[in-house]
């Protein structure tokens, strides 16, 4: 009996210490997700783990950058110091990636409001790699070696070796420039794994979405860190969007950025796209002729790329751009133009374009990290109106379209061979809950639907109404 009691007590003590250890692994001081950003002080060395997150000072503004830990078994004291930030902080040219890009900037570390005298500023030697091509990331090399920063007690952060696969709790540590007090700020939230980050114009694969508070101007380039391991899981691109830098871990050998190897193949590529293709061809709608036949739109996408050849494919999820299957054969890049049809599946479609140096160049997973991506949305079909007929009038209303669509627009005209007008036509008016139509002549009713929370309206449709 005594033995059982002793065993029980030992088990309880063991579980207590395991629980206490687990509780202590939260480096966010139990800050609740969604709380306002907390200014950080470090006179008591409480946040020394983040001395390596700093203010990136550039001639045209500020971002945040993080010193990365590149130490391995072959690391030496002469190995350079590298920081990671957002690519657009260095070169905001969509479709461009560069190697060894000249970049006039410096980074201020130990950036806490109560230790201004201990701020440490280091000049950037070069942007060793910067990209707005398939991702929004940049790696900068500082003029001093990592050993010098370690001697100054600036602590680097490890990059998570794998991208996140599931929703997880994170901390953002950054230097937003919208506050009067200039310091690092800490916020906490859940980071969700997204299929594709699709804005206008980027459609980058492997995006991560967060709802951390107070991310604003200056937060670009700040790290999202796992609140238990302190490893960098993503770099903030624009407020609530970020991208995993996990693939960059294999680009460092003996503490040195080593490109063009069996584990790292980052290219310098420039894709120039005309304004119309980039900004105006992002929302497509099928065309309906006067017989009711549906015609799918085409990409009609024109571009220039600085490689002799390119290959392409269209996918539903930008992550598939990084898979070698189903790419076209190599095509001469003299006049880049893709005019395949889009659809018939609705919603997001992504165009993947990869530059190749020869017709025989193989598409490896590493090479496909340099893929240009462009997204467009194909509209949903327009909901069908319900018509009611009496001796005196014809009624029209929409049923069951909410929540996909909350508003409906229409106009009526005589029955002729003219297709319904584009949604921008001024004849369209917003439909009331119950509309009455003239009962004395045949009509063609053109309509479409929209949702205030989604800028993409539906396709148009027409219905023929004859008097009863």
The CATH class of 269-378 is: mainly beta
Q: Is the predicted pLDDT of residue 164 greater than 80, yes or no?
A: yes
**Position 331 confidence tier, pLDDT thresholds 50, 70, 90:** very high
Average pLDDT, the chain: 88
Q: Which residue has the higher pLDDT, 141 or 423?
A: 141
Q: Residues of the chain with pLDDT > 70: what percent?
A: 90
**Position 457 confidence tier, pLDDT thresholds 50, 70, 90:** confident
Q: Is the predicted pLDDT of residue 7 greater than 80, yes or no?
A: no
Domain 38-257 and domain 386-465, same fold? Reply is: no
Q: Is the predicted pLDDT of residue 401 greater than 70, yes or no?
A: no
Please name the CATH architecture into which domain 386-465 falls. Sandwich (2.60)
Mean pLDDT across 110-136? 94
Of 5-14, 140-149, 248-257, 286-295, where does mean pLDDT reach its minimum? 5-14
Mean pLDDT across 395-409? 82
What's residue 202's pLDDT? 60
Kindly report, residue by residue over 346-385, the tens digit of the pLDDT.
888 999 999 999 999 999 989 999 999 998 888 888 899 9
Q: What angle do CA 174, 370, 90 make, to 5 degrees?
A: 35
The CATH class of 38-257 is: mainly beta
Per-domain boundaries in the chain = 38-257, 269-378, 386-465
Kindly report, residue by residue over 200-244, the tens digit of the pLDDT.
456 788 789 998 999 988 999 999 999 999 999 999 998 888 999
Mean pLDDT across 169-175? 96
What's residue 17's pLDDT? 40
What's residue 118's pLDDT? 92
């Amino acid at each position: 009996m005594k033995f059982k009691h002793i065993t029980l007590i030992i088990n309880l003590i063991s579980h207590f210490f395991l629980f206490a250890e687990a509780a202590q692994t939260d480096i966010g001081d139990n800050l609740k997700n969604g709380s306002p950003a907390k200014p950080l002080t470090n006179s008591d060395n409480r946040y020394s783990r983040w001395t390596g997150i700093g203010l990136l000072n550039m001639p045209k503004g500020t971002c945040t950058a993080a010193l990365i830990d590149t130490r391995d078994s072959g690391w030496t004291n002469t190995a350079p110091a590298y920081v990671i930030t957002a690519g657009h902080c260095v070169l905001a040219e969509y479709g461009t990636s560069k190697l060894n890009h000249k970049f006039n900037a410096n980074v201020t570390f130990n950036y806490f409001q109560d230790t201004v005298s201990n701020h440490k500023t280091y000049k950037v030697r070069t942007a060793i790699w910067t990209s707005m091509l398939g991702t929004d990331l940049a790696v900068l090399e500082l003029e001093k070696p990592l050993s010098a920063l370690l001697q100054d007690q600036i602590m680097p952060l490890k990059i998570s070796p794998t991208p996140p696969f599931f929703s997880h709790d994170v901390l953002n540590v950054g230097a937003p420039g919208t506050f009067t007090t200039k310091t690092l700020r800490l916020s906490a939230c859940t980071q969700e794994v997204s299929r594709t980050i699709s804005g206008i114009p980027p459609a980058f694969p492997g995006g991560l979405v967060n709802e951390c508070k107070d991310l604003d101007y200056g937060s670009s380039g700040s790290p999202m860190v796992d609140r238990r391991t302190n490893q960098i899981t993503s770099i903030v691109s624009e407020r609530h969007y970020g991208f995993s830098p996990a693939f960059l871990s294999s680009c460092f050998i003996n503490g040195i950025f080593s490109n063009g190897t069996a584990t790292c193949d980052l290219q310098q590529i420039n894709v120039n796209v005309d304004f119309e293709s980039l900004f105006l061809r992002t929302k497509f709608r099928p065309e309906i002729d006067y017989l009711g036949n549906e015609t799918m739109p085409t990409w009609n996408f024109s571009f220039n790329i600085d490689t002799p050849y390119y290959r392409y494919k269209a996918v539903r999820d930008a992550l598939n751009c990084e898979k070698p299957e189903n790419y076209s054969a190599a095509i001469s890049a003299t006049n880049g133009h893709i005019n395949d049809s889009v659809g018939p599946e609705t919603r997001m479609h992504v165009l993947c374009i990869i530059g190749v140096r020869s017709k025989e160049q193989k598409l490896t997973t590493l090479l496909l990290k340099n893929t240009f991506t462009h997204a467009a949305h194909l509209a949903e079909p327009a909901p069908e109106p319900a018509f009611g007929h009496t001796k005196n009038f014809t009624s029209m209303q929409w049923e069951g379209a909410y929540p996909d669509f909350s508003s409906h627009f229409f106009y009526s005209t005589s029955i002729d061979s003219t297709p319904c007008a584009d949604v921008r036509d001024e004849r369209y008016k917003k439909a009331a809950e119950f509309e009455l139509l003239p009962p004395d002549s045949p009509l063609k009713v053109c309509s479409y639907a929209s949702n205030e929370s989604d800028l993409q309206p539906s396709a148009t449709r027409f219905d023929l109404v004859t008097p009863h």
